[in-house]
Amino acid sequence: MTSWLEIPEGTDFPIQNLPYGVAEHRGRTGVVVAIGDQVVDLAALAAAGTFPDVPPGTFDRDSLDRFMALGRPVWRSVRSRLTDLLATGNDPRRRRQVEAALIPMDDVTMRRPIQVGDYVDFFSSIHHATNVGRLFRPDAEPLLPNWRHLPVGYHGRSGTIVVDGTPIGRPSGQRLDPTTGRPTFGPTDALDFELEVGFVTGTGNVAGRPIPVDEAERHIFGLVLVNDWSARDLQAWESRPLGPFLGKSFATTISPWIVPLDALAPFRVPAPPQDPEPLPHLRPRQRLALDIRLEVEIVPAGAAAGTVVTRTGFADMYWTMDQQLAHATSNGATVRPGDLFASGTVSGPTPDSLGCLLELTEAGRRPLRLADGTERRYLHDGDTVVMRGWCGRGSSRIGFGSCRGTVVASSSRT
């Protein structure tokens, strides 16, 4: 399928994608869809009667939550209508209707696309879990006994989820001084990125009624890239016995575009086998993964170019999205439109496919050399971390845009 619009070569946003976002333009904020290097103002199209099954005012908002609450039949209806309007062969009269709603992407400011009532971060890559286990428990089994039986996760802080391009202040907190064996307070010396993929829920469930694993995708609106920034020294000191807290809650960056699950359907692949077989409530009839390619680039302050420090893939995650959502609601907990569920660090089996500096540098023991000649054990002030993700290649590439953040110095006093 092609569009009558001129679509730049290699774009993340061909007509097969049509991801949703929230943009500000000339003082007004609303829901938009990306195509090529432009966005379509959905509120303008709705005002012209384009979406008869969408309630008035749905797209004149600062989040996608109300639209996502309408459910999959409406999502598919809107997507189908947009595809028809943008496809080659469209009626010229309807083209003029679309042209009036087009805005150059460079003229808008992207905002966080969801309100995020709740946020869960999982730990679902077997390569990442194994590597971290070996680093922290070198004389023990790297995977804890529960890991192969359920998708391990924890609740994060939704209020500090920010959108692509937001500066990330270096957090302060307690960390252990290895020379004295006593805690100190100050800016983290071990700021890290975590390469993740997140899914966003649309329709929720009734309290006390778990979402069955084979019905989970009915509740998933789409996917985003996620950088769950981590302060490793703070995390190491505080996380026993209750797990991550201040070392993780200071910032999580998401990409501004939510790629609909339907756009990713052509890139489904079999998920890796699980051993042992999970319990029945986590055992779908068919286990499918998504073949998303991922990379992370570090750009030092003032550098002419960055360095891609990892390339990996999402397809071999041990626990899938439907299993994660089924598990999260298996005790009767509810989900709502705009809730975010992140995969946990995505790491592959090779040294160049690891999803965080903790793994890439072996907890700082083996620094990375960047293209400008500098080394990194962990992130420096001024470093920009850029995450990218896409499926396919060439004209069939379905991308997520970028998920970036620049580290700025802490304002806290030691």
Q: Which amino acid is at 321?
A: M
User: How far is Cα 38 from Cα 22, in angstroms, rounded to an integer?
Assistant: 13
Residue 149: active-site member: no
Pairing of strands 195-201, 340-342: antiparallel
Assess whether the previous peptide bond of 276 is cis (omega < 30° from 0): yes
Say which DSSP state 106 is in: G
11 close to 392: Cβ distance less than 8 angstroms: no
**The residue to which tokens 């991550």 are assigned:** 244
285 close to 215: Cβ distance less than 8 angstroms: no
Q: Which residues contact 265 (CB under 8 A, 6 or more apart)?
A: none
Identified catalytic residue from 127, 128, 219, 327: 128
256 close to 113: Cβ distance less than 8 angstroms: yes
Residue 357 has φ and ψ, to the nearest 5°, of -70, -30
39 close to 105: Cβ distance less than 8 angstroms: yes
295 close to 402: Cβ distance less than 8 angstroms: no
In Å, what is the CA distance from 269 to each residue of 287, 398, 400? 9, 15, 19
User: How far is Cα 178 from Cα 367, in angstroms, rounded to an integer?
Assistant: 20
Of the candidates 103, 105, 98, the one whose C-alpha atom is nearest the C-alpha of residue 84 is 98
User: How far is Cα 312 from Cα 383, in angstroms, rounded to an integer?
Assistant: 21
Task: Return the active site residues.
Answer: 128
